[in-house]
Structures are given as structure tokens and as C-alpha cells.
Amino acid sequence: MGIGDVTLLLDTHVLVWFAEGDESLPASSVETIDKLRDEQGLAVSTISFWEVAMLQSRQRVSLSAPVRQWRNLVLDASGITEAPLTGEVTIESVELPGAIHSDPADRMLIATARLNGWTLATRDDRILRYGKAGHVATIPV
């Protein structure tokens, strides 16, 4: 499945929970993500792998494999497409409409979803509020 076939972008925490089978992601959310993966495709931003690597280096997340290997496993085994971080995404992340916090990774995720017309799967209340304001499509998980 390629970038053009995708409709759902996973926030970093959702990616980790989904890939690791973490109980923080309810079974109903796993079912929804699995269904959308099969029907419409899933994506993860390059920035999410950066975030995961940073979290692992600070021992704030425990993965089932070293982060490089984990990334390859996620992309090979899960049917998730990696969305590149482009100049267009970085500029969009600075020019986002409305009020959104300054976390650069979240801004990159939002920009990626907006530019591609994708829905962002997240549990982040700030992003969900931003979505409710009509600035990006979101789905709470």
C-alpha cells in the first residue's frame, strides 16, 4: 500500500501502543485501527520514529527490539506506510491555523495529516480539541 492509499495517520503514542500490543490501547481501538488498515491503509510520520528513538534513549519507553530494528519490524510486519517529513510539511507545521501548542512533533503530525487529507488517530486532548475546532480530522483512540 502506498502513500496515496492511506487515510489514517497514527500519533506516536498510538503507534507504540499498537505495535507493542500495549493495553493502553483498548481492544475496541485496536479493532478500529485493524479495520482501517485493511480497508484504507495506515501511515506513520517519520517524526514519530524520531520521537520513539528519543523516548527510548531517555528510557521513557520500552520497546520489544532496539529502535532501528523495531522501526523495520513495524514497517515490514504491520502494513504501515512511512510518511516522509518534507519541506512542505515543515512549513505547514509553522503556518497551522488556529490555536495549537508549540510541540514540534505534534505540529508535524498535524501538518502531515492536513496536507494529505488524512485522519489523525490520537489520544492527545490538545490535538483532539484542535480537530474539534475543524483544523484537522481526528479520531480518538
Domains and CATH numbers, the chain: 3-140 (3.40.50.1010)
Exposed e or buried b per residue across 83-103, where buried means at least 16 C-beta atoms within 10 angstroms of its C-beta: bebeeebeebbeebeeebeee
pTM value > 0.85: yes
Q: pLDDT category, 15, cuts 50, 70, 90? A: very high
85-97 residue pLDDT tens: 999 999 999 999 9
Tell me the Cα Rg of the chain. 14
State yes or no: pLDDT of 104 exceeds 50: yes
Q: Outline where DSSP puts E strands in the chain.
A: 8-10, 42-45, 80-83, 119-122, 137-140
